[in-house]
Amino acid sequence: MSSVNQIPEDQKWQALLARSTPTFAGNTTLPFGFLTQTLARIKTENREREIFERIGLRSLFVAISVLIAVVGVSISVQLQSRSDFDPAVKSLLQADDVPIS
């Protein structure tokens, strides 16, 4: 894109970005020594471990909650449709009442 077709504000922003590039170039390489880099790496690893632990605990709580809900629904359905005997036991008891000659 030629500079003739550019908006004056765009030219100002591009000039400011071009001037600020050397300022941020130093951030690409760490100016720290071995000890500082090692401590920074350990801190980052600890932070990642804490995040994974939190995610793991949350998923564990969700799984336990779902399990409790399923058990609750299963028990409530079973209690609502509860009869004294299983159908197979009922048929056996009815067969006992049949006179055998």
Write out pLDDT tens, residues 43-69: 999 999 999 999 999 999 999 999 999
Name 3's Cβ contacts closer than 8 Å, sequence gap at least 6: 11
What is the rounded CA–CA span in Å between residue 64 and residue 53? 16
Q: List Cβ neighbours of 18 (8 Å cut-off, separation of 6 or more).
A: none
User: What amino acid occupies position 86?
Assistant: D
pTM: 0.43
Tell me, what's the pLDDT at 60? 94
Q: How far apart are alpha carbons 38 and 60 in whole angstroms? A: 33
35/73 Cα distance (integer angstroms): 57
Q: What's the pLDDT tens digit per position in 10-39? A: 777 777 767 766 655 555 555 567 778 788
Contact status, residue 40 vs residue 32, Cβ threshold 8 Å: yes
